[in-house]
Chain A
């Protein structure tokens, strides 16, 4: 196992008969992923490009030994789909679906955690390890196997940055798109230790955004525990003061959560912080070169 996915990963796609489910099942397979089953209630017994479709996750797991799920189910039904996956013994679930109410996500996260399932997302591009497996929707073309780990809160910006790293002749070990919702199953803080322990990752790129304090919390961890070089970027430096959850939200964050506080915290932790996305590949190259020299 590298970071969460590898050659043993067997994916069931929940919502496989929808447009997104179909397109991305195909792309996951082209990436080299074992997509072993699909689930759409009421469509059991059919298939999508030869992948058998089942009525329930339990049947899919029993028949195909799936151990990871990629969820494309529409927001009103996503909570149920995730709980079904957890109950069927799935241990890694990427939730691609966007617009899931955070009250639903709170239940999903705490239920999954209690039962030992890791959620990536929601509203996220998922996870991919080039040459191994992909559970999600990150375009295949941006990847190339290598030793750079990527953790990001963004979607397309991640593709852009991963692609930039590839264009410099470097590759990625594992890339995780955490999703930008207020409540996510995996945060920077959750993902960092996995990359620290991963022998296939030499350095990491962290792509953050304004809002919340996940980057500040990650910076604290990096300063104390993280042993590998970190290149970071925070999107939204020019954004006008964003929406916040009223006064109660302000007293939870207490002046943190802006681009300035995030950049300052990461720099203090020893990360190289890019001012613009196009600076990242260069900083990664420099960090990689320093590692070789050591």
Chain B
């Protein structure tokens, strides 16, 4: 999932004709001053930190400015701050508008209905979770006709809009729907959507893009710069890599098996650290790659839980032993392996011969991994 910063989300909105305040991004206090001085951003303006976490207003990351000097000092006070582990590198400067009302509009997926859903509420500008259900309208949208005119009229009614603002909403929703579909978004959200005189303006933009559609949108892939080098390598090798707080590294194949493995380790008093999920594959090459990747994460001990379905366990075991020999002795760690499936007896024998603790039972092997990590500490 690629979560877009507000200004990038607004770039998407602009492309699809969703109305926005006039504004521009600044990466330095000087730039903030010159953007307001030149009139590129009309005054008075709002200066907003571009971070992905919510709660910017309360965190003091949204300021107002009446002059270029004030814009400069507002930007200077925000840029470089750290908000919820995220460094502020950019501010968005936008004209301050006379707001009549604040509304809420979003499009996302309803998994249970297997349909996109248009969510609207007349209560914008607050966290939507805090709005009572009775004040939220949910309109499932069939992907074939798309968001139809009658559905857009219903949305206007649910928001209490008539006349000019209702007309403005109609065009805005067409744009929002197109953005949702064509950009492969998981979520497009406008909160607040402001009524400004006769028209509507999207004051904020939350857009998340689905990773699986990156073959259609190579440009989004470049935006993600929040990965650690190890996460980057894992992504290239199509291995799911997640960093938790613990010290036991876990390698498993398949999301369900990985989660079940973590559940068991935790129940037995262990503390899972990095975990690598190879997906449904038991390809020995991938097991070996994951093992070498894990070695770089420097865990206290590693628990490997693989179900060999297509490949045979002895093949996986041989690949693993080969990979182990590539790790420098100083970087080695205790390994507990559980390889089940085709030829599991042969696989277990090969691993034991190489000095690996190989136990076929899930509970016993998890226990052994927890013990190994405890001793290593």
A157 pairs with B257, CB closer than 8 A: yes
A66 interface residue (CB < 8 Å to B): no
* Docked-complex contact A139 and B216, CB < 8 angstroms: no
* A235/B184 contact (C-beta < 8 A), A141-B342, A247-B189 known: no
Nearest-Cβ distance from residue B111 to partner chain A, whole angstroms: 5
The 12 listed contacts between A and B (C-beta, < 8 Å) are: A98-B280, A99-B212, A106-B114, A110-B144, A142-B341, A157-B257, A182-B111, A212-B112, A248-B106, A248-B119, A250-B129, A276-B363
Q: Is the CB of A235 within 8 A of B263?
A: yes
Q: Please measure, in the bound complex, the distance between the C-alpha atom of A125 and the C-alpha atom of B128, giving whole angstroms.
A: 37
- Min CB distance A289 to B, Å, is 23
How far, in Å, is B72 (CB) from chain A's closest CB?
A: 33
Question: How many A residues have CB within 8 A of the partner chain?
Answer: 63
Q: Give residues in B with beta carbon < 8 Å to A.
A: 1, 54, 106, 108-112, 114-117, 119, 127-129, 131, 133, 136, 138, 142-144, 181, 184, 186-187, 189, 191, 206, 208, 210-213, 215-216, 244, 252-257, 259-260, 262-267, 272, 279-280, 282, 307-310, 340-342, 361-363
List residues of chain B with CB within 8 A of the CB of A101. 184, 210, 212-213, 216
How far is it, in angstroms, between the C-alpha of A138 and the C-alpha of B362 when the chains are bound?
20
Bound: A109/B110 CA distance, A: 14
Q: Are A213 and B187 in contact (CB under 8 A)?
A: no
- Least Cβ–Cβ distance between B359 and chain A, in angstroms: 13
Given contacts A245-B208, A246-B187, contact A235 B260 (CB under 8 A): yes
Q: Are A217 and B112 in contact (CB under 8 A)?
A: yes
Chain B residue contacts of A100, Cβ below 8 A: 212
Chain A residues contacting B144 (CB-CB under 8 Å) are 107, 110-111
For the complex, give the distance between the alpha carbons of A129 and B255 in Å. 24
Using A110-B143, A156-B257, A156-B309 as known contacts, say yes or no to A139 and B342 having CB atoms under 8 A apart. yes
Residues of A within 8 A of B (CB): 23-24, 27, 75-76, 98-103, 106-107, 109-111, 125, 137-139, 141-142, 152-160, 163, 180, 182-183, 207, 209-210, 212-214, 217, 233, 235-240, 243, 245-252, 254, 275-278
Contact of A152 among B133, B216, B256, B310 (CB under 8 A): B256
> Does B309 lie within 8 Å of A154, measured CB to CB?
no
Asked if residues B142 and A163 are in contact (CB atoms below 8 Å), the reply is: no
Please tell me if the beta carbons of A245 and B117 are within 8 angstroms of each other in the complex. Answer: no
A252 near B108: Cβ-Cβ < 8 Å:
yes
Query: Bound complex: CA of A23 vs CA of B114, how far in Å?
Result: 32
Contacts A158-B256, A248-B106, A277-B362 given; does A103 touch B111 at CB 8 Å = no
B366 to chain A minimum Cβ distance, whole angstroms, is 9
Bound together, the chains give a CA A166 to CA B279 distance in angstroms of: 24
User: Does the CB pair B279–A98 fall under 8 Å?
Assistant: yes
